[in-house]
Amino acid sequence: MTERHRHKQQVRKAFDSAADSYDRAAAVQREACHRLATLAGATPPSGSVSRILDAGCGTGFGLDLIARAHPEAQVVALDFAPAMLARLRQNSPAAAVAPLCADLEALPLAAGSIDAVWSSLALQWCDPALALAEIARALRPGGIAWIATLGPATLWELREAFARVDEASHVIRFHPPAEWIAAAAKAGLSPVARDLEPAYALAPDLRGLLRDIKAIGAHSVGEQRRRKPLGRAAWRTLEAAYDAHRRPDGLLPATYDLILLALKKSGEIHD
């Protein structure tokens, strides 16, 4: 099994396990969806919109936002985790939604068959070049991709605190905006808008923050090796280091380095 294949299986397993708890803990994910909807409203695709791909739909929170903006469009709701799609069917039984279990890096869609792509906090688990090449292939000329992903400063407070405990890599480093822009250009997608404002998860204590990270499935993705649980002394060191980031309102923040992009596929439109 290749390292890439192991990574994909790890992602699928993590989000399958998180399907039941995801909606209760996904405050940042909901905020990202609302921000992405604002960006999408300001950057409509050229021509009519009859088919939209929700690439990494999760439990389906973004589907209502898509439907409000494009009520006549069919939405292909794609996710790599079967349990997420099972939850999606409970949350969004609308006939205009077509669930599809598939890999973002190998879309089972015909070239030029999609008018717009919506992807909120899914592509960070992918290779930018592979995923954007597939999105560009599926989009028709003049189509647009609205993408929310995460940058390398995500959970920097946690990375900094863990550095006081050991030398292990406890927090995955995501791709920077420049890498996404370069991969988009190579795929034939031109940026028409971007937003790099971070979002924040908040909790009264470190255990609460870590519990929410685990509940959305992101706690184990990207780990290099199995680690022993932290001992009491190490946990106290971690808590003390993280507490330096406590806000004036008493809450602890976890930064999500949110990258929002609107990417347009060039070419003529034939209605």
Domain limits, the chain = 3-153+173-201+256-265
**How many CA atoms are closer than 13 Å to the CA of 62, on its beta-carbon side?**
32
Place 219 in a pLDDT band, splitting at 50, 70 and 90. Answer: very low
Contact 104, 122 (CB under 8 A): yes
Contact 171, 164 (CB under 8 A): no
- Does position 90 have pLDDT exceeding 60, yes or no? yes
- Does position 154 have pLDDT exceeding 60, yes or no? yes
Q: How far is CA 101 from CA 15, 23, 81, 88, 106, in A?
A: 13, 19, 7, 11, 11
For the segment 219-243, the average pLDDT, to the nearest whole number, is 74
Contact 265, 143 (CB under 8 A): yes
- Does position 19 have pLDDT exceeding 60, yes or no? no
106-153 pLDDT tens trace: 999 999 999 999 999 999 989 999 999 999 999 999 999 999 999 999
For the segment 218-226, the average pLDDT, to the nearest whole number, is 46
- Backbone φ, ψ for residue 265 (5° rounding): -90, 130
51-81 pLDDT tens trace: 999 999 988 889 989 999 999 999 999 998 8
Dihedral of the alpha carbons of 173, 177, 180, 185, in degrees to the nearest 10: -160
**How many CA atoms are closer than 13 Å to the CA of 162, on its beta-carbon side?**
15
| pLDDT for residue 88 | 76
Strand arrangement, sheet containing 114-120: 97-101, 74-79, 51-55, 114-120, 139-150, 258-265, 189-195
Contact 30, 58 (CB under 8 A): no
First to last CA, the chain: 45
Place 222 in a pLDDT band, splitting at 50, 70 and 90. Answer: very low
Q: What's 3-153+173-201+256-265's CATH class?
A: alpha beta
- Does position 94 have pLDDT exceeding 90, yes or no? no
